[in-house]
Chain A
Amino acid sequence: MNELLPPWLEGIVVALVVASGLLSLVAAIGIMHLKDFFQRLHAPALANTLAAWCSAVASIAYIAGATGRPTLLPIVLNVLLAITAPITTALLARAALFRRRQAGDDLPAPLSTTQVE
């Protein structure tokens, strides 16, 4: 349990853990401060991808170094996040478009030039 890691491995784990915390904080600041909902929708992607991968690699490195048995569970976790996060984002974006259209608010400009009714 209280095994000491070699210094280079510990440096990697420390850097990744700190980076993960900071990235998640940046994503939260984005959720807090961006003006429009469709801008805020982009902020959690930072936590879903970069922060999650940083902490996953850190935990793989630490557990492999401390217990001697590598684990692949964090990879499974990140694959699961990579599958589910875009689905949630797309559903939320469609829900927001639908609700705004119903409320009669102004919508963001369409991406394609062809007119969709």
Chain B
Amino acid sequence: MSVTLTAALFFALVCYVAAMALALIRLLRGPTAQDRVLALDFLYVNGLLIVVALGISFSTTSYLEVALLIALFGFLGSAALAKFLLRGEVIE
């Protein structure tokens, strides 16, 4: 892997981590509960992007399967939280 690509991957990882930090500020500060769920949703998408970038960096497809699992379970988590905000209970 060339120096340019390594530098680009490092830059992207720094960007993702900065984005996660900003979302974490919103999650901690967020005036309402739905703001926090939105920030959590954004956090898992960024974690997924980090895993994909690491998969490029190690040039393996195993990380992509991990990213698939993160997408599935992250959606389950945010959907359950949003449903809880809507109804007060997750399973009716």
Q: Which residues of A are interface residues toward B (Cβ below 8 A)?
A: 1-2, 4-5, 10, 13-14, 17-18, 20-22, 24-25, 27-29, 31-32, 37, 40-41, 43-44, 47-48, 51-52, 55-56, 58-59, 62-63, 66-67, 71, 73-74, 76-77, 80-81, 84-85, 87-88, 91-92, 94-96, 98-99
Interface residue total, chain B, C-beta cutoff 8 A: 53
Q: Are B46 and A62 in contact (CB under 8 A)?
A: no
Q: Are A91 and B79 in contact (CB under 8 A)?
A: yes
Shortest distance between the CB of A35 and any CB in chain B (Å): 11
Contacts of A66 in B (CB 8 A): 1, 59
Besides A63-B59, A95-B37, A96-B34, 16 other A-B contacts (C-beta < 8 A): A1-B59, A5-B5, A13-B5, A20-B12, A27-B19, A28-B20, A40-B26, A43-B42, A52-B45, A58-B56, A71-B61, A76-B68, A80-B68, A85-B75, A91-B83, A92-B38
In the assembled complex, the Cα of A95 lies from the Cα of B19 at a distance in Å of 25
Q: Give chain B's interface secondary structure class.
A: helix
Q: Are B22 and A32 in contact (CB under 8 A)?
A: yes
Q: Which residues of B are interface residues toward A (Cβ below 8 A)?
A: 1-2, 4-5, 8-9, 11-16, 18-23, 25-26, 32-35, 37-39, 41-42, 45-46, 48-49, 52-53, 55-56, 59-61, 64-65, 67-68, 71-72, 75, 78-79, 82-83, 85-86
Q: Are B8 and A88 in contact (CB under 8 A)?
A: no
